[in-house]
Amino acid sequence: MSDLDNILNSFETKFSQIKNKNDLQNLKSEFFGKNGSISLQFKIMGSLNVEERKIFAKKLNDIKDKLTSQIDKKFKDFENQAINEKLKDEKVDITLPIRSTQSGKIHPVSQVIDEISSIFSEIGFSVAEGPDVESEYNNFTALNTPEDHPARDMHDTFYLDKDKKTLLRTHTSPVQIRTMLNGKPPFKIIVPGRTYRCDSDQTHAPMFHQLEGLHIDKDITMAHLKGCLNYFIREFFEVKKIKMRFRPSHFPFTEPSAEVDIGYKIKNGKIIIGEGDKWLEILGCGMVHPNVLKNTKVDPNKFQGFAFGMGIDRLAMLKYGINDLRAFFETDFRWLNHFGFDPLDVPTNYRGLSR
Ligand code: PHE
């Protein structure tokens, strides 16, 4: 038997005993590696004469082709076998019931704060914040609120000590004081946040949300206040035209002061903002009182401006047709699921950071 036949025989025997990919890899090196039996035969070829070489080369190449195709096929078989085993282990039971998942919702109050903040930020307001626990000074005195003002009464305000020096802020206006004391004019801020009053019924909760606005500069007038609020209300309610009226009012920290009503009507049980002959009060505002400017070291002979304060919960109720304020704070998951907002479902008038 020639060397080549021997090689072929030995290959066949060894090949039939192969159990795994590793054995196959070893076998491949044994025959085709640098010093493998087949590779050595190719080296021998050079020492043969032309005639012998022709015959030898043909036979050797045939054997080489045969063995490599056998090896390649075996590799494929092992690979398929591995895939099949994996599939068997990973079998999916499609009759299993689905696992319930619950995605979170954005609370209408958070949603409305976002909407209002983005509307005002488009016209140059930045967002400021302050603490819920305030000093009596920032909440009342600095805001020109006299000692005998009814808001200072225990019936209206949650005091946190006997001396009535600290309290839960009754409005977001103390952040006007903090902002002006800590900076230099001009000021152009909005302040969303929690506020507290001793009050609870269908439209009042002891904790509620307000949004304050403050714009102080050298020549800010009541016309700016009107234009700013008109723009905001149109944007917020997504209507082109609104009816709006300023009613004379009184706040200790603004002079003159006004309350703002917007026109509405009820159609098919739904509230339509901007039309009709009914009026709805939505915010308080006015020109910042010179005493407030003095208290915050802003010169009232050089600077003036406006402030406003609105109830965020009330606006959320109006815009999204929610009629009981208390539900906002009951953390009832079913309610939130119904009235909450999908974090990925961007509302049409959203003008967040991406724009
Ligand atoms: N702070 C007032 C309130 O809580 C609202 C307001 C703010 C009015 C700013 C005028 C100016 O009712």
HSE-up (13 A, CA, CB side) for residue 326: 4
Residue spans of alpha helices (H) in the chain: 3-16, 21-32, 37-44, 50-89, 108-122, 136-139, 174-182, 222-237, 290-295, 312-320, 333-339
Distance from Cα 318 to the centre of ligand 1, integer Å: 20
Question: Who lines ligand 1 at CB under 6 A?
Answer: 171, 173, 212, 251, 254, 284-286, 307-309
Distance from Cα 284 to the centre of ligand 1, integer Å: 5
In a mutational test of the pocket of ligand 1, which residue from 253, 257, 260, 283 has the highest number of ligand atoms less than 8 Å from its CB?
Answer: 253
Distance CA 197, CA 158 (A): 7
Distance from Cα 198 to the centre of ligand 1, integer Å: 17
Protein residue closest via CA to atom 4 of ligand 1: 171
CA-176 nearest atom, ligand 1: 9
Q: In the chain, where are the structural domains located?
A: 2-89, 110-339
Protein residue closest via CA to atom 10 of ligand 1: 285
CA-210 nearest atom, ligand 1: 4
Question: pLDDT by residue for the chain (355 residues), tens digit each?
Answer: 578 889 999 999 999 999 999 999 999 999 998 888 888 888 888 888 888 888 888 998 999 999 999 999 999 999 999 999 888 888 788 888 888 877 789 999 999 999 999 999 999 999 999 999 999 999 999 999 988 888 788 778 999 999 999 999 999 999 999 999 999 999 999 999 999 999 877 778 899 999 999 999 999 999 999 999 999 999 999 999 999 999 999 999 999 999 999 999 988 888 888 888 999 999 999 999 999 999 999 999 999 999 999 999 999 998 998 888 888 999 898 999 999 998 876 555 554 443 2
Measured in degrees and rounded to the nearest 5, phi and psi for residue 39 equal: -60, -40
Distance CA 343, CA 104 (A): 8
Q: Are 274 and 281 in contact (CB under 8 A)?
A: no
Distance from Cα 285 to the centre of ligand 1, integer Å: 6
Is the entire prediction scored with pTM above 0.85?
no
**β 187-196/126-127 pair status:** parallel
Distance from Cα 260 to the centre of ligand 1, integer Å: 11
In a mutational test of the pocket of ligand 1, which residue from 251, 285, 288, 315 has the highest number of ligand atoms less than 8 Å from its CB?
Answer: 251
Distance from Cα 152 to the centre of ligand 1, integer Å: 15
CA-284 nearest atom, ligand 1: 8
In this structure, what token pair is assigned to residue 41? 């035969």
Distance from Cα 173 to the centre of ligand 1, integer Å: 7
Pick the CATH number of 110-339 from 3.30.420.40, 3.20.20.150, 3.30.930.10, 2.40.50.140: 3.30.930.10
